[in-house]
Structure 1
Amino acid sequence: MPIAQRPARKKDIRQENEKLILEAAEKVFAEAGFGGATMQLIADVAGLPKANLHYYFPTKESLYRQVVQNIFQVWLQAADIFDAAPGPAEGIGAYIDAKMEISRRHPAGSKVWASEVMHRAPVIQDYLENTLKDWTDGRMAVIQRWIDAGLMDPINPRHLLYMLWATTQHYADFGHQIETLNNGKPLSDKDWAEAKVSVKEIILKGIGVVPVGKNTG
């Protein structure tokens, strides 16, 4: 192999190992919680030596914080459309679609976050007080701007965000319950599509907004 290719190959290996570790950690933390998870168990699930985990993530806490940060970054990306949208029908509608899709594709990450918060955020309290607070204040300002422009009913933006989070993340955090009530089967593509439409219609109509594509007549 030419010498010039070696750094690139080394970078590829590092990225692949980190991906394996983070996917395994997300699964283990979701099932066992921070206290019940061990670096050895995560290494076993990842199929890597325990020493590899400590090379990339020196402590269990550093690995846990990265897992939490990853799911939060995915949520942040889902809200990008929020800021640029012309109104609540487009902004909140697209946000619901994105958050529902995250619950579908990243259920373990959502469960890690939920478990951490339910235990009073012993590891990521600083994250809640800074990053999450700043993000929430920013989205509340956008919602208030829509209210002031007469594009939606005058409701409390904070509680609307809480409802959006609770509803969309329910499909991840209570996935087993949903599957049980769905005759023991995971939701199909059609089920997910119908769920997105229903959630958007219920929430948007509840704040006096006509969902995109619906006839006002």
Structure 2
Amino acid sequence: MKDNETGKRTKNGRNAAGSRAEARRATEDAILKAAETVFAEAGFGGATMQLIADMAGLPKANLHYYFETKEALYRRVVERIFNIWLEAADVFDAAAGPAEGIGAYIDAKMEISRRHPNGSKVWASEVMHGAPVIQDYLETTLSEWTEGRATIIRRWIAEGKMADVDPRHLLYMLWATTQHYADFSHQIETLNGGKPLTDAQWDAAKASVKGIVLRGIGVSET
């Protein structure tokens, strides 16, 4: 009997701990989404912790419990979109060639622009202002990632799988094109009759971008 009671207490304790962890993750996610929106609209200088707390529907004190300073929250927002982009680039490492690697990368990056437009806008604004908060990311993680993908592209070129292009300029073009759908979403919606792109239009956009890029580097689409 005691063993059963102990087991129940342990199980209940684990359930309670799990529920608290889930609640914490949910609250943190709500804060990050609110912060993305506020930073995208007001910039780092114009954003305040009160505005972010209001957007998240939380007391300001609760916000400070998760993130002590505005800069800490801002860096977390930037980290999140950057890590999402890095995960999207994993296709490069396992791809047999540029059709698979670059094609899948374009799909992933455009989907991120669709689902995380504010994160992309925060990143773009930060970089356009000289990256005063995240310069260390550019000099370390981004630099290392870029060189790693450039090495893969050079290998594909050496194997005769694609045209001889400058890997860095190809990557810059991929970033500019895919992130345009997030950073200039208002312009795209305006040109689309004032409406967001439908699922079918997103699929068509992905196919168009892939076709243009792959043909431009001498690759047949898979």
TM-score (norm: length of structure 2): 0.94
Runs of 4+ displaced beyond 2 Å: 1-6
1:151 aligns with one of 161, 172, 176:
161
Decide which structure has greater helix share. Answer: 2
Distance (Å, rounded) in 1 between the aligned partners of 2:23 and 2:168? 43
Distance (Å, rounded) in 2 between the aligned partners of 1:135 and 1:122? 20
Q: Hey, what does 2:69 align to over in structure 1?
A: 59
Q: Hey, what does 1:202 align to over in structure 2?
A: 212
Q: Give the residue type in structure 1 aligned to 2:77.
A: V
Show structure 1 runs of 5+ residues with no match: 213-217
Q: Across the two proteins, how many residue pairs are aligned to each other?
A: 212
Displacement of 1:134 in angstroms is 0.4
- Write the mapping of 1:119-158 to structure 2, written as runs, cut at 5 A: 119-158=129-168
RMSD (CA atoms):
1.0
Q: Hey, what does 2:189 align to over in structure 1?
A: 179
- Write the mapping of 1:70-81 to structure 2, written as runs, cut at 5 A: 70-81=80-91
Distance (Å, rounded) in 2 between the aligned partners of 1:18 and 1:35? 22
Q: Give the residue type in structure 2 aligned to 1:125.
A: Q
Displacement of 1:10 in angstroms is 1.7
Q: Taking every aligned residue pair, what percent have the same amino acid on both sides?
A: 71
Q: Give the residue type in structure 2 aligned to 1:130.
A: T
**Residue 176 (structure 2) pairs with residue 166 (structure 1):** yes
TM-score (norm: length of structure 1): 0.96
2:28 aligns with one of 12, 18, 27:
18
Q: Hey, what does 2:40 align to over in structure 1?
A: 30
Measured at CA, do residues 165 and 9 of structure 1 come closer, stay the same or move farther in structure 2, by a change above 3 Å? same
Show structure 2 runs of 5+ residues with no match: 1-8
What are the superposed Cα offsets for residues 35-84 of structure 1, whole Å, 9 maximum, x if unpaired?
00000000000001111111111110000000000001110111111111
